[in-house]
Amino acid sequence: MSQPQKLDRFDALVPREPFVNPWQPDGTYVPDFKLLELLLGAAIGTEQSSGIVAGATDVWAAEELRRAGFEADDVWPRRESPRVLPRDVREFVERGLTRKLRAEIEGRYNMPGARRALPAEARVMGSAYLKQGDVVIASWATGVEVLISTKTMLSSYAKNLRNRFEEGYGDAKNLRGRHPLSALGFLFVVGADISHDELGFAVDMLRKLRSEPDVYDCSCLLILDEEQMTDIKDRDLSGATFAQEGTLRPPGAVVKLDLDRAPEDLSAGVFFRRLVEKALSHMPVDVYEQVRQRQAHARS
């Protein structure tokens, strides 16, 4: 199963506009943690190697950028297939064609030939190698504007934690070398069973990943607290079902976030505020107008 197909299970859980404005009068950003818990509840219980838990995190981070005010279809993964559709292609189809031609082309997006032509994943060229961007805003004219690299680790911390941050540090240098003006963020999700020492190492490394000019602009730590679900009657699932291995099932667990164990400077609110500030700082004032309007509306 490809990564875009893995995201299909989350489509029914993602709310549509109008969004609740995440920006506050004092400039802080309030993420939608309930959505993340719901998405992860639909993913917990799958093999970590399947990428479904990471996919839930990608879907949530993409939704947070939309809530911040970025154009919905500019953010990859998109809410529907194809998950990656270049802005320039989309605008040509939407504005440059008759309704008949537009409907015909949009009807072909998911045909085998179109799947080979449209990128299934957002692969970004760095200074040394191609890197898959988990959550991306980009265009042909500007290149990468925003990129979030998400990593999840729910077990085997002693074995793999250092390797994960070695990868992250190398990816940061690779991306920043070619995209010095892009807003780059690193979002790391761990389980509640991570030990005190392992958590301390993760916190130290996440801070180091943003401590130099040529790495990430911001980093975030999210800690899960998984609890097996025994009763879903009071859980608002909005009629959604979840496909896994050809069967229908409800989410296998209630997932809660332990927001107290992560330091404030690595919180999701600080992460998205810094990421958006970086993106705005390198764009003219007439770009990202909706982001600026939502911020202004919160202050008014």
**pLDDT tens digits, one per residue of 18-39:** 778 999 999 999 999 999 999 9
78: tokens are 């998109």
**Whole-angstrom distance, CA of residue 135 vs CA of residue 124:** 11
Cα–Cα distance list, 222 to 11, 197, 293 (Å): 22, 16, 28
Residue 115: its pLDDT value, please? 62
pLDDT of residue 230 exceeding 60, the answer is: no
Residue 47: its pLDDT value, please? 63
**Whole-angstrom distance, CA of residue 114 vs CA of residue 96:** 19
Q: What is the overall mean pLDDT for the chain?
A: 85
Cβ–Cβ < 8 Å for 120, 3? yes
pLDDT of residue 247 exceeding 80, the answer is: no
pLDDT of residue 61 exceeding 50, the answer is: yes
Mean pLDDT across 75-87: 87
Higher per-residue pLDDT: 127 or 225? 127
Closest by Cα among 75, 87, 84, 108 to 2: 84
**Whole-angstrom distance, CA of residue 62 vs CA of residue 60:** 5
3-state helix, strand and coil shares in percent for the chain, rounded to the nearest 5? 45, 20, 35
SS3 category, 39: helix
pLDDT of residue 229 exceeding 90, the answer is: no
Amino acid present at 231: D
Cβ–Cβ < 8 Å for 177, 126? yes
Instruction: Give residue 234's pLDDT band: very low, low, confident or very high (50, 70, 90).
Output: very low
Cβ–Cβ < 8 Å for 205, 164? no
pLDDT of residue 233 exceeding 60, the answer is: no
Question: Apex CA 159: angle with CA 153 and CA 164, to 5°?
Answer: 50
